[in-house]
Structure 1
Amino acid sequence: MTSLESSPHAVPGGAGPAKQIPPAAVARLTIYLRALTALLAEGVDRVSSESLAEASGVSPSTLRKDLSHVGSYGTRGVGYDVQYLNRHIAAALGLTHDWKVAIVGAGNLGRALARYGGFESRGFEVVAIFDADQMVVGSEVGWLRVSDAANLEPVLQRTGANMAVLALPAAVAQDVCDRVIAAGVRSILSFAPVVLQVPPGVNLRKVDMATELQILAYHAQRAQDPAGTD
């Protein structure tokens, strides 16, 4: 559902330049992390590459190649230490840092995101939510109170937000994006149905649900009519 519009991720720590991880591998690492977290919840201590690959929906060779980007910690005949690998992937993805998220747009999508309980368990704290509609400003979303978008910059600085989610109409998305960047935020997730322009050094990811549904419709049509014309 997302498209990467920034430079590849890097493994943190260590001497010398950080090793770059290809964007596709980064996306799969998040899936491995989810599978490992589920295994930990079940009390599983070790897992084979075959089992972890199956739980993640990839081939064992793809899994091993992806894990080589963060260092391979499997032992032949024994498998991977689930807790250790979970911590190491989390560190490689930057999830050991404190990520404070501000949501701009308190419509249905913004409110749903603010209430989502899965963020905190994965290291993301939603610290602010904004809207320009004065009928919405001051209302409560979970434990948060909607702030006026006119006060975007001071609230971002006060809360220490270092990530922003844009749940906005296309017409205002670029202006708000520029303001967020000017306030010092360098990691942005946009749900706005428009291509945003950001300067070098800013990580932007775009989620376009309409496009994903169109792609699904294409594949569904092909499945129903495999003999159709190209």
Structure 2
Amino acid sequence: MSVPDHPETASGTEESGRKIPPASLARLPIYLRALNAMLADSVERVSSEELAEAAGVKSAMLRKDLSYLGSFGTRGVGYDVQFVSQKISALLGLSQEWRVAIVGAGNLGRALARYSGFASRGFEVVAVFDADERIVGTRIGWLTVSNADNLEFELERTQTNMAVLAVPAAVAQQLCDRLVAAGVTSILSFAPVVLQVPPHVQVRKVDMGTELQILAYHAQRAQETESGSRARSAQ
């Protein structure tokens, strides 16, 4: 697919039926965060170069990513910040009401339940669960930790449509199965295990150990490059 140098300079309607590559999709929330920061500063228009710099990517990459949303804007004027923010929000499903349950109220689960960034991005944490009787009934902000035995009842009562699994690997699949059986089809898992789910269920796995290993790889490569440069300079 050919991409114009400045898709914001063309006018037209939203492209439909185009599948967005995973890498481009992963960058859209970054663009949205930058756009919303600009809106908070009363910025109405932004060039692709300025938005790319704010998002920490190359302008050509940003233009290609945004081309999947359609072509819009005016030559020499740039992107309408509010319009592009709304387009990305709609594409990401943020115009819907997302009610989130956190399963697992250990250190990680409690930290996630307290995270204020969820609400500002359109996600409301409506329930927290744990199986430990010492934790059940305790408070995390305005929420009371519910017994995991009552998972299905509470999911229905709170109309939960998204869940976060912050539990050990040994119980993750069992709890995942219960979530799916209760009608939850969007799950974010911090459990260090691959979960088996039906095709209609979306699971995103966050493996902090793997991410640290990738960081260590890049850090080692940087050290090797620096050592090589010093060696060549000394010759």
Q: TM-score, normalised by structure 2?
A: 0.87
Does the 8 A contact of 1:104 with 1:168 survive in 2? yes
Greater helix percent: which structure? 2
Match of 2:95 in 1: 96
- How many pairs align? 214
Match of 1:51 in 2: 50
1:20 is displaced (CA, Å) by: 2.0
Match of 1:180 in 2: 179
Secondary structure at the counterpart of residue 136 of structure 2: coil
Secondary structure at the counterpart of residue 192 of structure 2: coil
Q: Which runs of 4+ in 1 moved over 4 A?
A: none
1:22, 1:221 → 2: CA distance? 29
2:110, 2:148 → 1: CA distance? 15
Match of 2:74 in 1: 75
Match of 1:121 in 2: 120
Secondary structure at the counterpart of residue 163 of structure 2: strand
AA paired with 1:148?
A: N
- RMSD over aligned Cα, in angstroms? 1.6
Secondary structure at the counterpart of residue 152 of structure 1: helix
Gaps in structure 2 of 5+ consecutive residues: 1-12, 229-235
Does 2:151 correspond to 1:140? no
2:128, 2:155 → 1: CA distance? 10
1:109, 1:75 → 2: CA distance? 46
Match of 2:111 in 1: 112
Where do residues 5-44 of structure 1 align in structure 2 (5 Å cutoff)? Answer: 18-44=17-43
Does the 8 A contact of 1:47 with 1:82 survive in 2? yes
Alpha-carbon deviations, 1:23-78, whole Å to 9, x = none?
11111111100000000011101000110011111222211111111112232100
Alpha-carbon deviations, 1:138-173, whole Å to 9, x = none?
000010000000111110011000000000000000
Alpha-carbon deviations, 1:73-122, whole Å to 9, x = none?
23210001111111111001100000000000000110010011111111
Secondary structure at the counterpart of residue 196 of structure 1: coil
Larger Rg over CA atoms: 2
Give the share of equivalent positions with the same residue, in percent.
Answer: 70
1:18 is displaced (CA, Å) by: 3.8
Match of 1:84 in 2: 83
Change (3 A) 1:159 1:18: farther
Match of 2:158 in 1: 159
AA paired with 2:215?
A: L
| Larger relative contact order (Cα-Cα within 8 Å, sequence gap ≥ 6) | 1
1:21 is displaced (CA, Å) by: 1.5
1:97, 1:191 → 2: CA distance? 24
Does the 8 A contact of 1:64 with 1:72 survive in 2? no
1:193 is displaced (CA, Å) by: 0.7
Gaps in structure 1 of 5+ consecutive residues: 1-13
1:181 is displaced (CA, Å) by: 0.4
Match of 2:194 in 1: 195
